[in-house]
Amino acid sequence: MATASKTDHHLVAGRLEIGRFSLYYETAGSGPPLIFLHGLGGNHLSWWQQVPYFMRWYTCVTVDQRSFGMSPDPDDLFNQAHASDLARLLDHLKFDKAVLVGQSMGGWTIVGCALEHRDRIAGMVMADTPGGIYTPEMKFPQTPPSAPLGAAAAIGRLPTYAGDFFLRHRDLAFLYDSLMILGARPPADAMQRLGALRYDLERTKEKLTMPILCVVGEEDALIPAAMIERLAAWLPDGRFASVPHCGHSVYFEQAAVFNQLVRDFLIDIKYGKSAGA
């Protein structure tokens, strides 16, 4: 009979009940918690290239944020509750401290949570996101993306990855598009609601003193790399990494590069036993 070894990992599904709302999450691995918050076009499955890598050193937690995947939102609170949902999840899982990874919309979630619970956040990775922090120097693109952020876009035409990504990786682009329309969907005005949530700059500067890695794709059509570079320079302990030949979804388009950047960051801030295989 086969016996368990130190390399055995278990994927565990869970639910957190918050009033009428039920938050779906999954955990895998062991060690200090590393929590992944997806973007507007994602869900917990978006991190399929990160969890198998990081679960060797960390307890990886992926979440279907409110209005996505298996977490339909009966109260239509959407991003008004994302940050507090995350804080409730930290309590539910009994995590005293964690590192948060937020992609695009997920950046708003982790910033909002860190503002209220900074002592529980050991560090953050803000991937392709300003996270609701807008300094006067930050400039958005002059022209909107050529394709919408929704199921109406042709396969391979989303502005959430590099323009030639479909030509280079037809299978991954198809998977990305498929994941985007899986399960519950956000409200029609989701992008407007997200853009309207802007955190106070003075309070943000005071509270977000933990190490923060800001990652962006050089070809990001939604959040320009220059904008994220300014954000990293503005943060008290911000670090900046730009990834070439990559659009708005570095974690998906260039997973190996993204994983190494995050791992190096975790080693640098001495979070867990992230060195070695």
* H or E element at residue 86: helix 82-92
Task: Give the domain CATH number at 129.
Answer: 3.40.50.1820
- The CA distances from residue 75 to 4, 21, 53, 190, in Å, are 43, 8, 35, 14
Residues 12 and 26: beta-carbon distance below 8 Å: yes
Which residue range is the domain that position 241 belongs to? 12-140+147-268
pLDDT of residue 4: 46
**Domain assignment present for 256:** yes
Question: What integer pLDDT is reported at residue 46 of this predicted model?
Answer: 96
Assess if residue 17 is contained within a domain: yes
Residue 2 lies in a domain: no
- Taking each helix axis from N to C end, the angle separating 82-92 and 105-116, rounded to the nearest 10 degrees, works out to 60
pLDDT of 155 reads 79
Q: Are 241 and 261 in contact (CB under 8 A)?
A: yes
- Could you list the beta-strand ranges (E) of the chain: 12-18, 21-29, 33-37, 59-64, 98-103, 121-127, 212-217, 238-243
Is 274 within a domain? Answer: no
Output the six-digit token pair for 144.
């909107």
pTM here is 0.92
Element (H, E) at 229: helix 225-234
**Residue indicated by tokens 């801030």:** 269
> In sequence order, which residues have a C-beta less than 8 Å from that of residue 195 and are 6 or more positions away?
none
Structural contact between residues 85 and 18, judged by C-beta atoms closer than 8 angstroms: yes
| DSSP conformation class of 154 | P
CA 247 to CA 164: how far, in whole Å?
A: 10
Instruction: Say what the pLDDT of residue 150 is.
Output: 53
Q: In this predicted structure, what is the pLDDT of residue 204?
A: 96
pLDDT by residue for the chain (277 residues), tens only, comes to 444 456 678 899 999 999 999 999 999 999 999 999 999 989 999 999 999 999 999 999 999 999 999 999 999 999 999 999 999 999 999 999 999 999 999 999 999 999 999 999 999 999 999 999 999 888 776 655 554 555 556 777 778 888 888 888 888 989 988 888 888 889 989 999 998 999 999 999 999 999 999 999 999 999 999 999 999 999 999 999 999 999 999 999 999 999 999 999 999 999 987 545 4
Q: Do the domain assignments include residue 277?
A: no
Per the domain annotation, does 275 fall within a domain?
no
What is the tally of structural domains in the chain?
A: 1
| Cα torsion through 172, 173, 175, 176, rounded to 10 | 120
- The pLDDT score that the predictor gives to residue 205 is 95
**Would you state the pLDDT for residue 157?**
77
Q: Is the dihedral of CA 140, 187, 37, 248 positive or negative?
A: negative
Task: Print burial letters for 148-171: b (CB count within 10 Å at least 16), e (below 16).
Answer: ebbeebeebbbbbbbeebbeebee
